[in-house]
């Protein structure tokens, strides 16, 4: 009875071993088929036994070995090159913009200089006109303060435009002070031809155009 029991146990163990081997072989075949593992060397006798060629895989040369670090380096290098190109473009844009700003600044400076020159010229004209007006007023007051005959002698030696300026300033001062103008009396003491010419020019050219 003990011998029969031992044979049954050995039979069961053998069956389990064969089942394990079969499952392991089937698993190898399946994983090899799915390319999860490379079991072509181990399974090649089995493939030949069932009349099929084992799955072959190309041999990778030493210089074709995939390098993850090399690939990462290449990606980083490409990113750096793109960044350099972008920076160069930005620098070119900045240089172009700087040139435009410098040109605008130069134009503004030239315009400012032109405005300053015009302002200086205008101020000079105003100052000259004010100086002339002060001189005319001083002459008019000076002539008003002397005897008419003597004043007419001085007026007769002056140019027509200077005489007209003095006459108009004298009339303006008399009107401002509320007194009678002496211009008419001066004209009466002057030679008729000269007096008539001065009156004609005064009538033709308004006082605002002096």
> Could you list the residue range(s) of the whole structural domain that residue 39 is in?
9-53
For 150-200, write each residue's pLDDT tens digit: 999 999 899 999 999 999 999 999 999 888 889 999 999 999 999 899 999
Closest CA to 185 of 150, 133, 138: 150
Q: Is residue 91 one of the residues assigned to a domain?
A: no
Q: Is residue 27 one of the residues assigned to a domain?
A: yes
More confident residue, 27 or 137: 137
Q: Is residue 1 one of the residues assigned to a domain?
A: no
Whether the CA torsion 174, 180, 184, 190 is positive or negative: it is negative
Closest CA to 160 of 99, 205, 117, 128: 205
Written as six digits, the tokens of 115 are 């405005």
Report the pLDDT value the prediction gives residue 120, as an integer from 0 to 100.
87
Spatial distance between the Cα atoms of 101 and 106, rounded to a whole number of angstroms: 9
Q: Is residue 198 one of the residues assigned to a domain?
A: yes
* CB neighbourhood size of 25 (10 A): 14
For 54-86, write each residue's pLDDT tens digit: 555 444 444 444 566 777 788 888 888 889 899
Q: Is residue 20 one of the residues assigned to a domain?
A: yes
For 84-115, write each residue's pLDDT tens digit: 899 998 989 888 888 889 888 888 889 898 88
Q: Which range, of 7-16, 113-122, 129-138, averages the lowest pLDDT? A: 7-16
Closest CA to 30 of 18, 51, 46, 17: 46
- Whether 32 contacts 38, CB under 8 Å: yes
Report the pLDDT value the prediction gives residue 59, as an integer from 0 to 100.
47
Q: Is residue 78 one of the residues assigned to a domain?
A: no
Q: Is the pLDDT of residue 17 over 70?
A: yes
Closest CA to 168 of 131, 127, 209: 209
Q: Is the pLDDT of residue 36 over 70?
A: no
- Spell out the residues 6+ positions from residue 42 whose beta carbon is closer than 8 angstroms to its own: 28
Domain count, the chain: 2
Report the pLDDT value the prediction gives residue 165, as an integer from 0 to 100.
92
Written as six digits, the tokens of 89 are 């473009």
Spatial distance between the Cα atoms of 48 and 60, rounded to a whole number of angstroms: 24
Closest CA to 57 of 39, 76, 83: 39
- Whether 39 contacts 32, CB under 8 Å: yes
Which DSSP string corresponds to 158-205?
Answer: S-HHHHHHHHHHHHHHHHHHT---SHHHHHHHS-HHHHHHHHHHHHHS
Report the pLDDT value the prediction gives residue 23, as an integer from 0 to 100.
81
Q: Is residue 26 one of the residues assigned to a domain?
A: yes
Can you give the pTM of this predicted structure?
0.44
Q: Is the pLDDT of residue 44 over 70?
A: no
Over residues 3-8, mean pLDDT:
64
Report the pLDDT value the prediction gives residue 46, as an integer from 0 to 100.
58
CATH of the domain at 145: 1.10.220
Whether the CA torsion 89, 91, 97, 100 is positive or negative: it is negative
Q: Is residue 23 one of the residues assigned to a domain?
A: yes
């Amino acid at each position: 009875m003990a011998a029969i029991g031992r044979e049954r146990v050995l039979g069961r163990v053998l069956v389990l071993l064969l089942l394990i081997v079969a499952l392991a072989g089937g698993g190898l075949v399946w994983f090899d088929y799915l390319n999860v593992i490379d079991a072509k060397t181990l399974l090649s006798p089995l493939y030949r036994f069932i009349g099929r060629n084992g799955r072959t895989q190309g041999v990778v040369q030493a210089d074709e070995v995939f390098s993850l670090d090399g690939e990462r380096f290449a990606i980083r290098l490409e990113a750096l090159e793109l960044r350099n190109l972008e920076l160069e473009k930005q620098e070119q844009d900045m240089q172009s913009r700087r040139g435009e700003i410098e040109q605008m600044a130069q134009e503004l400076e030239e315009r400012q200089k032109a405005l300053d020159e015009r302002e200086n010229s205008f101020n000079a004209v105003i100052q000259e006109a004010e100086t002339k007006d002060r001189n005319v007023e001083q002459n008019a007051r000076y002539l008003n303060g002397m005897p008419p005959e003597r004043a007419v002698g001085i007026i007769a030696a002056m140019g027509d435009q200077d005489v007209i300026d003095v006459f108009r300033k004298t009339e303006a001062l008399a009107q401002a002070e509320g007194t009678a103008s002496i211009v008419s009396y001066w004209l009466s003491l002057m030679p008729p031809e000269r007096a008539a010419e001065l009156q004609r020019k005064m009538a033709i050219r308004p006082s605002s155009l002096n």
